[in-house]
Amino acid sequence: MGDYPIAVAVSDLDGDGRPDVAVANKNSNDVSVLLNKGSGMFDAAVNYPAGTQPNAIAAADLNGDGRPDLAVVSRTLRVLINQGNGTFAAAGDYVTNAEASAIVAADFDGDGHVDIALNNENDARHYAFVLLRNQGDGTFDAATGYVTDWTATAIAAADLNGDGRPDLAAHLLYAAPPAPGRLQGLSVLINDGSGRFATPVSCGLPATAIAAVDVNGDGRPDLVAPGTDVSNPTGVRVLLNQGNGTFPSVVPYPSPYDLSMIAATDLNSDGHPDLVGTSDNNFSVIVMQSHGDGTFAQLVAPISGLEEMAVAAGDFDGDGRADVVVAHGGEHGHGRVRLVPSTSHGLGSNFYPAGEGPVAMAAGDLDRDGHLDLAVANDPHTPGESAMHVLLNHGDGTFAGATSHGDPSRSSGIIVTDCTGDDAPDVVLMDRHLTVMSNQGDGTFNGRYPVASTGSPVAVAVADLDGDGRVDFAIVNTVGEVELKLSQSDSLSSRNLDGIGTSIVATDVDGDGHPDLAIGLKDLFPGHGPVPDAAVSVLRNQGDGTFEDAVNYVFGSAVSAIVAADFDGDGHPDLAALGGDVSLFRNQGDGTFDVSTIVSLGQLSAHGGSAAADLDGDGHLDLAIPGSVEGASGGLLVLRGHGDGTFAAAEDYGIGGIGGLIAEDFDADGRPDLAFLGSNGYAWGAHVLINTCLP
């Protein structure tokens, strides 16, 4: 990929029946072509020179050979002719006499050849758009300017009056004295059939982008335009077509976002076009689901944390549903393309508000109906808000609204486990101490049982540490200790660690049937390793809840989380340590870990709460991580395991700003799904991402 991706086009570029992606990269002056390999995977990008600072791109058959070519707008129009296999050859540059940021391809003059229209934002040119007429072989006449004394900041083409000819919708500003910059707004320009256009008719609304699509199912293209000005709050406006190219009816949808791009596609397979847009001011992709009658649900933001985005839609994974591809990277960043797949519920994840300040999440069958529910720990800022919320699973991976439980308080962590032995999973909340919330068996909770701690808990593991069949606690606290609370004892025992603990996991590392402890450390104390430095500290269980001396495996990245799983398929749990990077400690089979076999999984910034599961159904454990690659904006990363302790490069799933990640089968289809905490743009809560992947 090039630098600063700014525009995306989707088309079957290599003729294999799958949609491919072409991205215009402004800073690297090129176009990246990514060919779809199937199942939503793409070949490495192939870059083609595209002139100085390209900022718009279109895919269309420009030379009449039945193959989609590329037209790229920079300071000129560059035509790239498809060679039939998804590779391209430059076929000429054309002076546009325009400062263009948008391009549309259509047969404007009725000769059967696809022409090119570009907007113009340069006041000195004194016209709103230019038309380059196609000679039929992919070459073009000189650009002709239209609509004198105006400039255009957005443009779209569609047959707006039903005469079979493509018309234009554009956002116009007056360019000539004495009132340069005067708003004409969203305007309609009717085509006379020869590629000439009538005087623009203003709809009187601001528009940062325009999409022409039939939103109410009457067979006529309507207009969708995000925009804002003093009298019109930020949001999206839907203008319904009367059939003659007039749009008297406007339905506004307020939004907290300034939207810079809008597109339409059916994301949930209900036959109605939904809306997808991008917001540069908070780096989000927004979605508005259609009701089918020209009205839409409230805007949500299932994808966030991505800088400077461009989006396009297509069925990239071959499941019959429209997905979204997001190109991003920012003005000073290396470009990336992310695929966000759709499910039967829509794009990306399903969102459930879960109280104020959600900070951690755990899963368990809280109401004992056979379906995994979610429990969310909250750290609210408003007095009187609860420290825990529960979302009960309907059984299909969708959840009922959150219910609050417990006294007003705050918490920083959560575990679901049966503490009382009644086969009803209880909830353990963590803050200045541990509190057990006793489950009544139906997903409601009655009673709070505190578990004392010398220092405030940082992380907790639960397991039967002493072999009595009951749950015990291992607590890492803020004073450099691990405290043990055994079920048979009312007191705590503690032992000093060799650094400040950050995370803990209980797993049988030496195969003796007793759960051992692996603890992530930062800032090792003098005498225990380089200072400052980090380590994974392993304490082997003697079987009675007492432990051997710790063995520290020192490495240079502070550990934020540890995941224990058999990543190399030898029957012994390995340890994946997450922090500034992600490293794998391979178990030698006796509970020791050979430092020489630490495998770096990449320079990743991982933010806790990661999960191991076979996400792609190939029989090998994968890693799901909330983090970022090489300093990019945070997102959901998946590292596909090869089954031998090695992993493919991290795949970014375009969902930023997340935490509390867990992997469980929420819809009972045999495939692990993902749940994580984040925002939908209006509230914080739980996202559930249903797994639709095939190997």
Gap between the Cα atoms of 177 and 423, Å rounded: 79
pLDDT at 383: 81
Task: Please report the pLDDT score of residue 12 as a whole number.
Answer: 98
Any domain includes 315: yes
| Cis preceding-peptide flag for 532 (omega within 30 of 0) | yes
Residues in the chain, pLDDT under 70: 176-183, 228-234, 280-283, 301-308, 329-335, 343-349, 407-408, 526-532, 596-599, 601-608, 628-634, 653-657, 680-682, 693-695
Q: Where are the beta strands (DSSP E) in 83-206?
A: 88-95, 103-106, 115-119, 127-132, 144-148, 150-158, 167-174, 183-189, 201-202
- Is the Cβ–Cβ distance between 57 and 73 less than 8 Å? yes
CA proximity to 10, closest of 21, 1, 2, 25: 21
Domain limits for position 271: 226-337
* Six-digit token string for 545: 């809840």
CB 517, CB 542: distance < 8 Å: no
d(CA 334, CA 319): 30
Buried b (16+ CB within 10 A) or exposed e, 544-558: ebebeebebbbbebb
User: Is 273 contained in some domain?
Assistant: yes
Number of domains forming the structure of the chain: 1
Q: What is the DSSP string of 43-108?
A: PPPEEEE--SS--EEEEE-SSSSSS-EEEEESSEEEEEEE-SSS-EEEEEEEE--S--S-EEEE-S
> At 664, which helix (H) or strand (E)?
strand 659-664
Query: What is the β-pairing status of strands 150-158 and 167-174?
Result: antiparallel
CA–CA distance, 84 with 72 (Å, rounded to integer)? 18
Q: How many CB atoms lie within 10 A of CB 494?
A: 16
pLDDT value at residue 456: 86
Q: Does residue 247 fall inside a structural domain?
A: yes
Residue 191 confidence (pLDDT)? 97
Four-CA torsion 641, 645, 651, 654, nearest 10 degrees: 90
Average pLDDT of the chain to the nearest whole number: 87
Residue 477, token pair as written in the block: 């606290």
CB 2 within 8 A of CB 24: no
pLDDT at residue number 177: 58
Contacts of 239 (CB under 8 A, 6+ apart): 186, 203, 205, 222, 223, 224, 225, 247, 249, 250, 251
* Residue whose structure tokens are 């002076």: 95
Euclidean distance between CA atoms 657 and 678, whole angstroms? 6
Q: Which of 447, 479, 484 is nearest to 462 (CA)?
A: 484
Q: Which residue has the tokens 């949930």?
A: 268
Distance CA 64, CA 112 (A): 9
Residue-level pLDDT at 366: 97
Q: Which amino acid is at 488?
A: Q
Cα end-to-end distance, the chain, whole Å: 25
- Say if CB 77 and CB 64 are below 8 A apart: no
Residue 534 within a domain? no
- Give yes or no for a contact between 49 and 29, defined as CB atoms under 8 angstroms apart: yes
Q: Is residue 661 part of a domain?
A: no
Is 321 part of a structural domain of the chain?
Answer: yes
* Closest by CA position to 614, among listed 676, 694, 504: 694
Q: Is residue 523 in a domain?
A: no
DSSP state of 17: S
Distance CA 191, CA 189 (A): 7
Q: How many residues does the chain have?
A: 695
Residue type, 272: H
Q: Which of 228, 177, 221 shows the shortest CA–CA distance to 207?
A: 228
Does a structural domain hold residue 294?
Answer: yes
Q: Which of 647, 675, 680 is nearest to 661 (CA)?
A: 675
CB under 8 Å to 684, separation ≥6 — which residues? Answer: 353, 354, 356, 357, 358, 677, 678
CA distance 593 to 584: 10
Burial class for 201, CB neighbours closer than 10 Å (0-12, 13-18, 19+): middle
Give tens-digit pLDDT for 413-434.
999 999 988 999 999 999 888 8
Non-local (6+) Cβ contacts of 309 within 8 A are 261, 278, 280, 283, 285, 326, 327, 328
Give Cα 93 to chain centroid, integer Å.
Answer: 36
**Which residues lie closer than 8 Å to 489 by C-beta, 6 or more apart?**
none
